């Protein structure tokens, strides 16, 4: 028997998130309940891997994340707005958060980032940035009013050391950034 969702009950809703109780029947026919959250205002998120060439550097951001209770080092990311595709959202978010512009090299299929808590999907967009464009004039970020984002460009060979130093300073490290580092075998 394949598990099936029986019902979804909204128990609380805010401006951005909805708390739900999901009723489902498991593979053995047993009725179960699961607590979850969903977004009220998005079709998913875009996670950006911004690679500066020919420098072989990456753009990272650090910002306060209230649920984590501290500053967190992350890859740039943001929600996909109504009417946008993931590539468009990734380019928009990269520009807003960092000031950099680039071209989307590829978008991976959407994946679930925390499936035990949410059904939200995240599309990873690899964006190539022409570093020569920013030699004379560094980019200027255009964050939303509620964002206070610090931008870092880190050469590939210094990523592990940079992340380790951030962690030593009490900065949280986003698991997606750690996964990238592991996948790059750095």
Higher per-residue confidence, 186 vs 54: 54
Query: How confident is the prediction for the chain on average, in pLDDT?
Result: 95
45-183 topology per CATH: Nucleoside Triphosphate Pyrophosphohydrolase (3.90.79)
Per the CB < 8 A criterion, the answer to whether 136 and 158 are in contact is no
pLDDT of residue 147: 83
> Over the stretch 21-44, which tens digit does the pLDDT of each residue have?
999 999 999 999 999 999 998 889
Alpha-carbon distance of 66 to 10, in angstroms, equals 23
> Over the stretch 119-135, which tens digit does the pLDDT of each residue have?
999 999 999 999 999 99
pLDDT of residue 85: 96
Tokens, residue 150: 């610090």
> Over the stretch 74-100, which tens digit does the pLDDT of each residue have?
999 999 999 999 999 999 999 999 999
pLDDT of residue 186: 60
Per the CB < 8 A criterion, the answer to whether 105 and 73 are in contact is no
Domains in the chain: boundaries: 4-39, 45-183
162-181 mean pLDDT: 96
Helices (H), the chain: 86-98, 159-168, 175-183
Alpha-carbon distance of 38 to 42, in angstroms, equals 9
- pTM score, whole prediction: 0.92
> Over the stretch 3-20, which tens digit does the pLDDT of each residue have?
999 999 999 999 999 999
Tokens, residue 70: 């501290």
pLDDT of residue 77: 97
């Amino acid at each position: 028997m394949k598990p099936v969702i029986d019902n979804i009950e909204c128990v609380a809703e805010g401006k951005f998130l909805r708390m739900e109780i999901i009723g489902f029947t498991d593979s053995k026919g047993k009725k179960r309940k699961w607590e979850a959250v969903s977004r009220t205002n998005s079709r998913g998120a875009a996670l950006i891997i911004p690679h500066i060439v020919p420098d072989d550097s990456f753009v990272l951001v650090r910002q306060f994340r209230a649920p984590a209770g501290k500053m967190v080092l992350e890859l740039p990311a943001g929600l996909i707005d109504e009417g946008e595709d993931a590539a468009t959202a990734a380019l928009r978010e990269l520009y807003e958060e960092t000031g950099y512009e680039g071209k989307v090299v590829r978008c991976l299929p959407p994946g679930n980032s925390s499936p035990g808590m949410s059904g939200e999907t995240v599309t990873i967009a690899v964006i190539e940035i022409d570093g020569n464009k920013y030699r004379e004039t560094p980019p200027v970020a255009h964050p939303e009013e509620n964002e206070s984002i610090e931008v870092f460009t880190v050469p590939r060979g210094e990523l592990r050391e940079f992340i380790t130093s951030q962690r030593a300073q009490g900065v949280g490290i986003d698991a997606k950034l750690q996964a990238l580092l592991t996948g790059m075998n750095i």
